[in-house]
A and B are shown apart, each in its own frame.
Chain A
Amino acid sequence: MVEVDYGLTEEQLEIRNIVREFAEERVKPVRAELDEKEEFPRALLDELGRMDLMGLYIPEEYGGFGGSTLDFCIAVEELSRACIGVSVSFAANALGSYPILFAGTEEQKKKYMTPLAKGEKLAAFGLTEPSAGSDVSGIQTTAVRKDDKYIINGTKQWITNGGEADIYSVIALTDKSKGPRGASFFVIEKGTPGFSFGKKEKKLGIHASATRELIFEDCEVPAENLLGREGMGFLLAMKTFDQSRPGIGAQGVGLAQGCLDEAVEYGRHRVQFGHPITSNQAIQHMLADMATKIEAARGLVYASCRAVDKGGKGVSKISAMAKVFATDVAMEAAINAVQIFGGYGYTRDYPVEKMLRDAKILQIYEGTNQIQRNIIGQALVKEYASKKK
C-alpha cells in the first residue's frame, strides 16, 4: 500500500515502528482500565524511559536522543492513536522541560534534564491560574527575592502531571508593577517546603492523565532556580508554546487516526439491511472525509514541526495553525466514529466512546482554539501591514 510520502528519515520510521508496537502491545490492552480507574500510567512511562523515548527531545549531552520536533511528534502521534490520556502524560514532560532547555544554564540543564532523559523523573509546566486562563497576563502568583532565595506565593490550576512530576517549570511575577514584563520562570522541585498539591481533578476525558493544582505558600526556592533572567518569563512561555503546539496537533492526528481505524473495522463487520454498513455511500463519505482531513492535518503538523526547528518570525502562526486544524479534525473524527458505531459507540464496551470524551481537551488546552485563531489572525494582520506596497 502506497503511503503519503512525508520524507521521513530512516530514524523517524524506526521511531514510528517502535512507538506503534508499544501502543499496540502495551497501551491498547490497558487503556479502558486506566480510564475507568482514573489511574496514572506510571508503569507505561517507566517502560518508555527504558526504551529511550522519554529522552527523545532532549539533547544527547544530557543523555537524550537529541531528536527533532518532528521525531517527538511522531512518537506523540502514535501514542495518541491508542490513548491521549497516556500521550499527554508523556508529552507534558517536554512542555515542562522547554523553559529549562531554552533558558537554563549548562548546570541547570545537566541537573534537570539528565534524570528526565532516562525517565527517572517527570516534569510539568505551571502557567494557568484561576484568573489567568486564556489571558496569561492575569497571573497573580508572586516570587519575591529575599537574599539568596525567592519566596513564592500563589496557586497554579489544572497542571498536567501535577503531583506526579518531580520537576516543575512555574511562572511567577517577580515585578508586579511591570505586568507580564515582570514575569519569570522558576524550576521548583516536588518536596520543596511550602509547595503542595490540590486534589486530582475529575475530568470528562483523559482520565489516565493527572491534573492538579500547585499550591505555593511562602515556598522558598533557591535564587539559582530562576530560569534565565527576571522578566523573561512571558517571552519564554510564548516560545514554549510555539514549540509545543505541534505536539497537540500530533495528538489530534493520532486520535483521529485511531477513530478512523476503529470506525472502518467496525463498519466492515456490522451488518444491517443485509450488508455491511460500510457499503452505504453515506458511511463511506464520512470515512472518506475523515481520512482526507487526517492526512491534511498530518501534513500540516509535520511541516509545522520542520518550521519550528528552523525557527524565525512567523513560527507562532504556523504552529497555531497545526494545533487548531488537527484538533478540530480530531473532534470531528471522534463525533463521526461514534455515529458510525451507532448505539454501541455510546457505550464503554467500545473505545470510541472514550475517544470522543478525550478529544474535547485538544481544543482547550495549550491555548483554546479561539486563542489559536486569534494568534493566526493577529499574525496575518501584522504580516500584511508590514508588506511594502
Chain B
Amino acid sequence: MHIVVCIKQVPNTTDVRINPETNTLVRDGVESIINPFDENAIEAALQLKDEHGAKVTVISMGPPQAESALRDALALGCDEVRLVSDRAFAGSDTWATSYALAQAIKSLGGADLILCGKQAIDGDTAQVGPGIAEFLGLPVVTYIRKLELLDDGARVRVERVFEDGYEVIESEMPVVLTVLKEMNIPRLPSLKGRMRAKRAEIPVLSAEAIGAEEEKVGLKGSPTRVVRIFSPPKKTGGMRIDGTSPLDAARLLVEKLKEQRVI
C-alpha cells in the first residue's frame, strides 16, 4: 500500500496578520510549523503503516524553506518526502496548487490512499484535498475522524463528521480523505528519526519533473483573482460580565437583559 500525505507549512499562529499594502500574509518573525491537521493526516498514515504495513510518502508544495516541514515528517517515521518547488509555481491559487500536487502524485506512480488535512490554518479554504481528487479523478471524503481498511485494503470505511452527527461511508481505493483533529493524537518524533531526518537529502520536484503544463501553474494557471484582502476591524463595544461566581454572573446578565428590555 502506498500512502501519500500532503502537508502544508504554515505560520505558527492562530492570529494571521495581513500586510495591507501587499495584500499578503505577514510571515516575518513567525515560526513555521506543519499545518496541525496535516499532522493528524501523517499520524493516520503512520498508524496504517504500523498495523498493515505501507509506504508513506509526504509531499509539500512551497518555497525551499518548506523543507523543514518535510524533515519533521521524516523524523516521525515517514518513508519518503518530496518538496514540490519551482519558481513557476509562484502565485498559485487553490486550483493551481491542487493541479501541481495531483501531478506530483502522478509522477510518484500514484497512490492507494491520499491524505490531506481538513484545511490549512492560514489559507483556510479546505479546497486543496477535493481539488487533488478532482484532478486525479478519484473519490473524496472530507472531514473524517475515523478510518479503517476493509477487504485487505481494497476499500475504506470512514466516519465523516457534521455539526449534528456523522456519516459512515465506504469507498473503493484509491481515495482522497481529509482529516479532522479528532482523528488521533499525533506522535512525537523519535530520537533516531530526528537524527536521520537532520542529515537527509530532501528531493525537489520541479514543474518539469511532475510534467505540469506551463499555463496551468503559478499566477497564469490561477483563475482566482483576489480583489481585496484585509484584516477585519477589531470588534468594539460589547461588555464583559465578571461575577465572583457563575451564579453571580448569571444574575448580572439577567439584570442587564431586563434593563435592555430583551427579556
Binding site for B on A (CB under 8 A): 10-11, 14-15, 17-18, 21-22, 25-26, 47, 50-53, 56, 65
Residue B194 CB within 8 A of the other chain: yes
In Å, the complex CA distance between A52 and B193 comes to 9
Given contacts A10-B198, A14-B198, contact A25 B191 (CB under 8 A): no
Residue B190 CB within 8 A of the other chain: yes
Report A-chain residues with C-beta under 8 Å of the C-beta of B191. Answer: 14-15, 18, 51-53, 56, 65
Report B-chain residues with C-beta under 8 Å of the C-beta of A15. Answer: 191
Q: How far is the CB of A13 from chain B (nearest CB, A)?
A: 11
A21 touches B188 (CB 8 A): yes
In Å, the complex CA distance between A158 and B192 comes to 34
In Å, the complex CA distance between A65 and B195 comes to 11
In Å, the complex CA distance between A22 and B191 comes to 12
Secondary structure class of chain B's binding surface, majority of residues? helix
Per-residue contact bits, chain B 182-218, to A (CB 8 Å; 1 contact, 0 not): 0000011111111100100000000000000000000
Report B-chain residues with C-beta under 8 Å of the C-beta of A53. Answer: 191
Report A-chain residues with C-beta under 8 Å of the C-beta of B190. Answer: 50-52
Report A-chain residues with C-beta under 8 Å of the C-beta of B187. Answer: 47, 50
In Å, the complex CA distance between A22 and B195 comes to 17
In this complex, the member of A26, A52, A56, A65 whose beta carbon has the largest number of chain B beta carbons within 10 angstroms is A52
In Å, the complex CA distance between A11 and B196 comes to 11
Closest to B189 in A: A18
Q: How far is the CB of B156 from chain A (nearest CB, A)?
A: 25
In Å, the complex CA distance between A300 and B198 comes to 30
A11 touches B188 (CB 8 A): no
A-contacting residues, B94-143, CB 8 Å: none
A65 touches B198 (CB 8 A): no
In Å, the complex CA distance between A15 and B195 comes to 10
Report B-chain residues with C-beta under 8 Å of the C-beta of A11. Answer: 195
Closest to B197 in A: A14
Report A-chain residues with C-beta under 8 Å of the C-beta of B189. Answer: 18, 51
B192 touches A52 (CB 8 A): yes
Per-residue contact bits, chain B 12-39, to A (CB 8 Å; 1 contact, 0 not): 0000000000000000000000000000
Report A-chain residues with C-beta under 8 Å of the C-beta of B188. Answer: 18, 21-22, 25-26, 47, 51
Closest to B194 in A: A14
In Å, the complex CA distance between A53 and B194 comes to 12
Q: How far is the CB of A379 from chain B (nearest CB, A)?
A: 35
Q: List 13 A-B contacts (CB under 8 A).
A: A11-B195, A14-B191, A15-B191, A22-B188, A26-B188, A47-B188, A50-B187, A51-B188, A51-B191, A52-B190, A52-B191, A52-B192, A52-B193
Report B-chain residues with C-beta under 8 Å of the C-beta of A65. Answer: 191-192
Given A14-B194, A47-B188, A65-B192, list of 16 further CB < 8 A pairs? A11-B195, A14-B191, A15-B191, A17-B194, A18-B191, A18-B194, A21-B188, A26-B188, A47-B187, A50-B187, A51-B189, A52-B191, A52-B192, A53-B191, A56-B191, A65-B191
Q: How far is the CB of B245 from chain A (nearest CB, A)?
A: 17
In Å, the complex CA distance between A10 and B187 comes to 22
Report A-chain residues with C-beta under 8 Å of the C-beta of B195. Answer: 11, 14
Report B-chain residues with C-beta under 8 Å of the C-beta of A56. Answer: 191
Report B-chain residues with C-beta under 8 Å of the C-beta of A10. Answer: 198
Q: How far is the CB of B117 from chain A (nearest CB, A)?
A: 19
In Å, the complex CA distance between A52 and B76 comes to 12
Closest to A67 in B: B191
In Å, the complex CA distance between A174 and B198 comes to 51
Report B-chain residues with C-beta under 8 Å of the C-beta of A26. Answer: 188
Report A-chain residues with C-beta under 8 Å of the C-beta of B193. Answer: 52
In Å, the complex CA distance between A17 and B195 comes to 12
Q: How far is the CB of A5 from chain B (nearest CB, A)?
A: 21
Report A-chain residues with C-beta under 8 Å of the C-beta of B194. Answer: 14, 17-18
In Å, the complex CA distance between A51 and B190 comes to 4
In Å, the complex CA distance between A353 and B26 comes to 42
Q: How far is the CB of A243 from chain B (nearest CB, A)?
A: 21
Q: How far is the CB of B226 from chain A (nearest CB, A)?
A: 36
Q: Which 8 A-B pairs have the closest CB atoms?
A: A52-B191, A52-B190, A51-B190, A52-B192, A14-B194, A22-B188, A18-B191, A51-B188
In Å, the complex CA distance between A198 and B238 comes to 62
Q: How far is the CB of A280 from chain B (nearest CB, A)?
A: 28
Closest to A51 in B: B190
Q: How far is the CB of B76 from chain A (nearest CB, A)?
A: 10
Closest to A53 in B: B191
In Å, the complex CA distance between A185 and B121 comes to 57
Per-residue contact bits, chain B 44-61, to A (CB 8 Å; 1 contact, 0 not): 000000000000000000
Report B-chain residues with C-beta under 8 Å of the C-beta of A50. Answer: 187, 190
Q: How far is the CB of A79 from chain B (nearest CB, A)?
A: 13
In Å, the complex CA distance between A21 and B189 comes to 10
In Å, the complex CA distance between A273 and B87 comes to 59
Closest to B77 in A: A50
Closest to A26 in B: B188
In Å, the complex CA distance between A11 and B191 comes to 9
In Å, the complex CA distance between A17 and B190 comes to 11
In Å, the complex CA distance between A333 and B7 comes to 44
In this complex, the member of A18, A26, A53 whose beta carbon has the largest number of chain B beta carbons within 10 angstroms is A18
In this complex, the member of B190, B191, B195 whose beta carbon has the largest number of chain A beta carbons within 10 angstroms is B191
Closest to A50 in B: B190
In Å, the complex CA distance between A232 and B108 comes to 60
In Å, the complex CA distance between A87 and B187 comes to 20
In Å, the complex CA distance between A14 and B196 comes to 12
In Å, the complex CA distance between A60 and B155 comes to 41
In Å, the complex CA distance between A18 and B194 comes to 9
Q: How far is the CB of B171 from chain A (nearest CB, A)?
A: 31
In Å, the complex CA distance between A265 and B195 comes to 33
In Å, the complex CA distance between A371 and B100 comes to 68
In this complex, the member of A10, A14, A22, A56 whose beta carbon has the largest number of chain B beta carbons within 10 angstroms is A14
Q: How far is the CB of B192 from chain A (nearest CB, A)?
A: 5
Q: How far is the CB of B78 from chain A (nearest CB, A)?
A: 15
